[in-house]
Structure 1
Amino acid sequence: MLIGELAERTGTSERLLRYYERVGLLRPQRRPNGYRTYDMAAEETVVRIRALLAAGLPTRVIRQVLPCTSANADVMPCPGVLGALREQLRALDRRSSQIATARQTLLRTIAATEEASVAGMAGESAARPGPR
């Protein structure tokens, strides 16, 4: 099948399919005219790639894990896969911690800004003379 048909069948843009090829996740054949042709297994491969991306794996890890996945993107035991998955989990944990810290900083900043705003409004109303 041509790239347009694969894109339609998988709901993935042709641009993404070319990217998957560029990073080594898909390996289409080439016709003499340069057109990419995909076998029927490519559709399942794209579905697995999308599932692994949705799980938060970067393409460099997917390239290592993809040969060890089943049709529903479950990862089977393969050399090096467990280490790659553990390292990705550590990276996600670090990012999660950084996001939590940034969130707390933002909450404190919002609270301080709200307090200053309320105090400023109270000071303005006290400085204005009331009706007589």
Structure 2
Amino acid sequence: MLSIGAVAIAAGVTPRVVRYYEQSGLLTSERTTGGQRRYPESAIERVEFIQHLIRAGLTTDVIRDQLSCVNSRIATPDTIAKLAAQREFIAQRAAELNRMEQRLGELIDSAQATLVTADA
């Protein structure tokens, strides 16, 4: 079992983020007799996964709703439909980011073509 600090360091977040995920129902811990949180090794991967989903644009509420099927290993047709909708949301977001990357590339190319150097 790992301390909150160990999970945070391994997952690349702060202990505050780990605590927030637990308060939000995204993560669970056991408590020592002294009241300290202890997490299984799998908590590291879970925190990293949550971070990826948040960066993709999902909210903690959506993640909590969808992760319930991961925890229970039971998926209903409704859960599958919701997961598919989230996958589509992420795909649309990825396409939007790709378009923005292309536009920034064009802007960089244009700026480089008109670049005035100090020697000129």
The CA distance in 2 between the partners of 1:49 and 1:17, in whole Å, is 10
Percent sequence identity over aligned pairs: 37
- Normalization by structure 2: what TM-score? 0.60
Contact 1:24 / 1:63 at 8 angstroms: preserved in 2?
yes
Structure 1: gaps (5+ residues): 70-76, 94-132
Structure 2: gaps (5+ residues): 94-120
Deviation at 1:78, TM superposition (A): 2.9
The CA distance in 1 between the partners of 2:14 and 2:3, in whole Å, is 13
The CA distance in 2 between the partners of 1:8 and 1:36, in whole Å, is 15
Coordinate RMSD, CA, aligned: 2.7
For residues 81 and 54 of structure 1, do their structure 2 counterparts lie closer, same or farther at Cα, with a shift above 3 Å needed? farther
Pick 1 or 2: higher relative contact order, CA cutoff 8 A, min separation 6.
Answer: 2
- Give the aligned partner of residue 113 of structure 2: none
- Normalization by structure 1: what TM-score? 0.55
Q: How big is each residue's C-alpha offset from its partner over 1:81-127, in whole Å with a ceiling of 9 and x where there is no partner?
A: 344353894xx99xxxxxxxxxxxxxxxxxxxxxxxxxxxxxxxxxx
What does residue range 62-77 of structure 1 map to in structure 2 within 5 Å?
Answer: 62-68=63-69
- Give the aligned partner of residue 26 of structure 2: 25
- Give the aligned partner of residue 55 of structure 2: 54
Aligned residues: 86
The CA distance in 2 between the partners of 1:48 and 1:66, in whole Å, is 10
What does residue range 84-95 of structure 1 map to in structure 2 within 5 Å?
Answer: 84-85=82-83, 86=85, 89=89
For residues 67 and 44 of structure 1, do their structure 2 counterparts lie closer, same or farther at Cα, with a shift above 3 Å needed? farther
For residues 55 and 81 of structure 1, do their structure 2 counterparts lie closer, same or farther at Cα, with a shift above 3 Å needed? farther
The CA distance in 2 between the partners of 1:26 and 1:78, in whole Å, is 19
The CA distance in 1 between the partners of 2:68 and 2:43, in whole Å, is 13
